[in-house]
Amino acid sequence: MVEIVERSSDAKERLIESARQLIWDRGYVGTSPTAVLRRSGVGQGSMYHHFKGKPDLVLAAERRSAELMQAQIRRLFAGEGSGLRRIIAYLMSERDVLRGCSVGRLAGDPEIVADDELRKPVRETFSVLVRCLTEAITEARAVGELEARLRPEQTAAALAAVVQGGYTLARAEQSVEPFDRAIQGALDLLGVTADDIIGPSRTPS
């Protein structure tokens, strides 16, 4: 019985991860149940044993992407260093720029944004990001690392928008250069110098 449960659990995980990768690259419409089954190597009967249908599987895949991104964000902002260092580490994180953000790309999918339940993981993830950025900016202002004129919540939203917009610019040009320019522009607006940048570890996005 234990062996059967383990195989069933493995099949479910493969379905979720396969759907997650396909949605990341193809979006909701482009992610067919057939494509998920082909990529996962799981049988159709197993798929409908674990999920009611495509929307149910897509939601599970979205939640997985959201959980992964939220965990990465929390890890980064709980790391060592000052508030400014953590902001720089976030902006300069290593990313698969041309593929884009696994959660951010969901926000541009009409089928997902039109559905409150499917949109929820996206909304929650960016709430976590903006909150972590806001706390780091507030801390950096308090010790004089950032100018007092910067409003933490508004600045946090702007930085999140720079990263997500940078992905779009990069994909439009099929080059990472527009993304890099956007990040450098954000650092310039924060008044960050080359000396400030030296030191933060470049962690996966």
Residues 101-139 as b/e (b if ≥16 CB within 10 A, e otherwise) read bbbbbbeebeebeeeeebbebbeebbebbbebbbebbbb
Q: What angle do CA 62, 92, 27 make, to 5 degrees?
A: 25
pLDDT at 58: 96
Examine residue 171 and state whether it is found in any structural domain, yes or no. Answer: yes
**Percent share of the chain, pLDDT over 90:** 83
Examine residue 161 and state whether it is found in any structural domain, yes or no. Answer: yes
Examine residue 3 and state whether it is found in any structural domain, yes or no. Answer: no
Examine residue 41 and state whether it is found in any structural domain, yes or no. Answer: no
Averaged pLDDT for residues 123-127: 98
Question: Taking the CB of residue 100, how many other CB atoms lie within 10 A of it?
Answer: 20
| Domain hosting residue 112, numbered range | 61-197
pLDDT at 204: 35
The model's pTM is 0.88
Examine residue 73 and state whether it is found in any structural domain, yes or no. Answer: yes
Q: pLDDT category, 197, cuts 50, 70, 90?
A: confident
Distances in whole angstroms, Cα of residue 3 to Cα of each of 7, 9, 22, 50, 153: 6, 10, 29, 17, 50
Tally of domains in the chain: 1
- CATH number, domain of 69, equals 1.10.357.10
Mean pLDDT of the chain: 91
Examine residue 18 and state whether it is found in any structural domain, yes or no. Answer: no
Examine residue 75 and state whether it is found in any structural domain, yes or no. Answer: yes
Examine residue 53 and state whether it is found in any structural domain, yes or no. Answer: no
pLDDT at 193: 83
Averaged pLDDT for residues 103-124: 95
> Would the pLDDT of 2 be above 70?
no
